[in-house]
Amino acid sequence: MAAITMNNIIKKYGDGFPAVNDVSLDIADGEFMILVGPSGCGKSTLLRMIVGLEDITSGEMLIGGERVNEKAPRDRNLAMVFQNYALYPHLTVYENIAFPLRLQKTSDTEVKERVNQAAELLELTEHLERKPANLSGGQRQRVAMGRAIVRNAQAFLFDEPLSNLDAKLRGQMRTEISRLQKRLGITTVYVTHDQVEAMTLGDRVAVLRKGLLQQVASPRELYENPVNLFVAGFIGSPPMNFIPATVGEDALHTPFGDVTLPESRSVDLAGKDVVLLGARPESFEDAAVVSDTVRDHGLTFDANIDVIEWLGNEQYAYVPYDAPEDIRNQLAELERELDSEAMRTQLVVSLDATSRIEEASVSALWLDLRKVHVFDPSTGENLTARTATQSTSAPA
């Protein structure tokens, strides 16, 4: 096991395109790090540079404190688990796990000892004589991990290992990988563009956009204190709402009424005409279910409820609104970058399951202003996050 350190890593492909642009990242020994971002942001390129399948244009890659830039993949002793697990169908589970040891001409006694140990750990002992075709998806994945374990690899690297599975199996495998990683305590780097995986699996998440590192933080920190519009819009489903607001003398004018931000959320707005207020769906509520003591902390407003989606344990309301054209363009731009659905001028708000708000009605909603973010639309910077504590360092 080992820590992985990247110092100012740049990757330019033949055409000079910087696929990874000056990325510095410290992954602690035993840490589970997620690399996430939209298609083409450089996740796979970064992972392939760790394993050694791709040359590093400049910068330094350290594994266990040792520079590996010039080392061949086989000398880095890392285990890459691919999407299709690459198991040998004609070999038993035992021989599939033993495969790397056979290549190294390890003695039969030692092979037996290490395979049995790995099988024990992975709960595969009773399947050792079976063939991969007769195993479930989860069991196959464990075999692939077993092969990585017997090699005593320094780290596990995954590139979207679950992307071709159906939703249910994906959920199961996610839990499985998380459980195993915790049990084994092996440094793990996991690439995904699925933000549910990103939020549930890792100790920390590194968000990439166009080869640039945006933020490295725990899932909670990313969710609660995204540093910019990109991270705010990428993490969370349904995504954060962005509401245009004109900066007035002593209030922000929004399509839903005037807003005065509480002390904890106040930011320096000098010289700014327009800002974007960010509010997660759950920061809204049906005003009718908000108690009087809490109501004062937020904005109560009448909303045109277009559609209600009732999901049993919660419900979402869709509230279209008007915004100036330049704001609409900006939201559309962000939507394209995020590869996301609907960043339209429409609020998506989460309502208590007991709420009786109906479709096609005008109803009173409430927005908790203590949870609102303020973004500079020109730079995308989250002005409220600047004051919040950032946890970009490795966990102790």
Ligand X SMILES: Nc1ncnc2c1ncn2[C@@H]1O[C@H](COP(=O)(O)OP(=O)(O)OP(=O)(O)O)[C@@H](O)[C@H]1O
The one of ligand X, Mg ion, none whose footprint includes residue 42, by CB under 5 to 8 A per kind, is ligand X
Residue 83 or residue 264: which is nearer to ligand X going by CB? 83
Q: What is the largest CA-CA distance in the chain?
A: 80
Which residue of the chain is nearest Mg ion when measured via CB? 44
- Please say which residue, 78 or 385, places its beta carbon nearer to ligand X: 78
Nearer to ligand X, 39 or 109 (CB): 39
**What does the alpha-carbon distance between residue 4 and residue 2 come to, in Å, rounded to a whole number?**
6
DSSP reduced 3-state for 124: coil
Question: Minimal distance in Å, beta carbon 56 to Mg ion?
Answer: 17
Q: Which is nearer to Mg ion, 40 or 59 (CB)?
A: 40
- Phi/psi for 197 (5° steps) reads -60, -45
Among ligand X, Mg ion, none, the one that 151 touches (CB under a kind-dependent 5 to 8 A) is none
Would you give the distance in Å from CA 1 to the centre of its chain? Answer: 24
Work out how close the CB of 54 gets to ligand X at its nearest, in angstroms, rounded to a whole number: 8
- Pick between residue 101 and residue 208 the one whose CB is nearest to ligand X: 208
Helix (H/G/I), strand (E/B), else coil: 354: coil
Long-range contacts of 264-267 (CB under 8 A, 24+ apart): 264/370, 265/369, 265/370, 265/372, 265/373, 265/374, 265/384, 267/374, 267/383, 267/384, 267/386, 267/387
Report in angstroms how near the CB of residue 51 gets to ligand X at its nearest. 13
Among Mg ion, ligand X, none, the one that 45 touches (CB under a kind-dependent 5 to 8 A) is ligand X
187-192 and 32-36 as β-strands: parallel, antiparallel, unpaired? Answer: parallel
Please, what is the Cα angle at 338 between 332 and 342, to 5 degrees?
50
Do residues 24 and 195 touch, judged by C-beta distance below 8 A? no
Partner interacting with residue 347 (select from Mg ion, ligand X, none; CB below 5-8 Å by kind): none
Q: Give the pair of three-digit tokens for residue 164.
A: 């071709």
Residue from 19, 31, 41, 44 in contact with Mg ion (CB under 5 A): 44
CB of 161 to Mg ion, least distance (A): 12
Taking the complex as a whole, how short is the minimal distance between the CB of residue 340 and Mg ion, in angstroms? 18
Q: Is 45 in the site for Mg ion (CB under 5 A)?
A: no
Which parts of 169-208 interact with Mg ion (CB under 5 A)?
none
Binding site for ligand X (CB under 6 A): 13, 17, 19, 37, 39-45, 193
Query: Rounded to an integer, what distance in angstroms lies between the CA atom of residue 306 and that of residue 100?
Result: 59
CB of 44 to ligand X, least distance (A): 3
Give the residues lining the site for Mg ion (CB under 5 A).
Answer: 44
